[in-house]
């Protein structure tokens, strides 16, 4: 028996008014989505995009992501729901609150939903991907705690002080063993560290054109590969590795290939336009610069500032040449005479 351990929660469902179920797994997913949107919104505005864009895109991404995540889980673990010896009924494949969201399917189908939203707003998908990548990692860090409340997807038995206590009747437990590797905690910490790394590296090297998102995929798959190897839940194995480990390898190589491929991309990425009041002359040129690049044109900004500083000298005179007219010295000449 280990000297210390992490206790599992006694329940993962609470009932509001003894009728409405409040499930911890669902709360973790919702909280993760909210955090991802908040982080994405702040980063999008800092890039010059219109406020509310990420919120609008989330309306596309979330339902697509949930469907994709569940489809991946059911397709890769179909034996849990279909067949004569399946531990769950086929209808339970729809019970998303019981756990079972494949991140690969969630990201893939969620990206499809974002693509639809980007097309409608005329903005670059790669710019959005780079913006939301740290938020996705943070959302995964939060969402993994849903596995903790469900007592699922834990690792092999361990006597380490941070071993996770699992009820003996849970699927995947080993007779006589009480504590297991808290793989949910390992992945949560890894994802949180990845989120901070992506924010730092994106600013430090000014990465664009989907390269931050490529680093997110590469970084996540590295962590997922070794954490997946600790898990003891049922899974398909190919050449001694779990299916998700092979998926991690393939996506890691694909992410590195894209990161290298996009290294020389210099084309502008549209972040959309923010409605502005009607402008004239040099103001229009400055607004065009903001719409195209998301940043103010220093040249036009300087021109506008110069006009603001000299505007008081021109007020009250309808003739633009008045400022260039020579001073009236007739009165002084008369006094000398």
Is 337 a residue whose pLDDT tops 60?
A: no
Q: What is the percentage of the chain residues whose pLDDT exceeds 90?
A: 64
pLDDT at 316: 45
Helix axes 103-121, 125-143, angle to 10 degrees: 140
Is 292 a residue whose pLDDT tops 80?
A: no
pLDDT in tens, 94-140: 888 777 888 889 999 999 999 999 998 999 999 999 999 999 999 99
Higher-confidence position of 38 and 322: 38
CB 154 within 8 A of CB 184: yes
Confidence of residue 273 (pLDDT cuts 50, 70, 90): low
Is 298 a residue whose pLDDT tops 70?
A: no
Confidence of residue 268 (pLDDT cuts 50, 70, 90): very high
Confidence of residue 19 (pLDDT cuts 50, 70, 90): confident
């Amino acid at each position: 028996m280990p000297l210390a351990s992490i206790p599992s929660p006694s329940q993962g469902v609470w009932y509001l008014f003894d009728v409405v179920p409040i499930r911890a797994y669902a709360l973790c997913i919702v909280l993760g989505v909210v955090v991802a949107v908040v982080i994405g919104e702040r980063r999008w505005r800092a890039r010059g995009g219109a406020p509310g864009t990420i919120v609008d895109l989330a309306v596309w991404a979330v339902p697509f992501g949930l469907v994709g995540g569940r489809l991946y889980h059911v397709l890769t673990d179909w034996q849990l729901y279909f067949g004569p010896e399946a531990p769950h009924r086929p209808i339970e494949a729809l019970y998303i609150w019981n756990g079972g969201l494949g991140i690969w399917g969630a990201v893939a189908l969620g990206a499809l939903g974002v693509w639809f939203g980007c097309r409608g707003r005329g903005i670059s998908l790669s710019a959005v991907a780079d913006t939301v990548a740290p938020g996705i990692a943070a959302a995964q860090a939060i969402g993994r705690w849903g596995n903790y409340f469900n007592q699922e997807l834990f690792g092999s038995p361990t006597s380490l002080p941070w071993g996770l206590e699992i009820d003996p009747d849970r699927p995947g437990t080993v007779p006589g063993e009480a504590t297991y590797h808290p793989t949910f905690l390992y992945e949560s910490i890894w994802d949180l560290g990845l989120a901070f790394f992506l924010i730092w590296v994106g600013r430090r090297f000014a990465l664009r054109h989907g390269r931050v998102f490529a680093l997110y995929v590469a970084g996540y798959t590295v962590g997922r590969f070794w954490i997946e190897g600790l898990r003891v839940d049922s899974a398909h194995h190919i050449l001694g590795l779990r299916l998700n480990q092979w998926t991690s390898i393939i996506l890691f190589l694909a992410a590195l290939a894209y990161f290298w491929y996009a290294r020389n991309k210099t084309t502008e990425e549209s972040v959309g336009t923010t409605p502005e009041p009607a402008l004239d002359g040099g103001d229009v040129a400055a607004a065009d610069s903001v719409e195209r690049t998301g940043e103010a044109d220093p040249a036009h900004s300087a021109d506008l500032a110069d006009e603001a500083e000299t505007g008081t000298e021109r007020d009250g005179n309808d003739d633009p040449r008045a400022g260039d007219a020579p001073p009236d010295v007739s009165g002084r000449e008369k006094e000398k005479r």
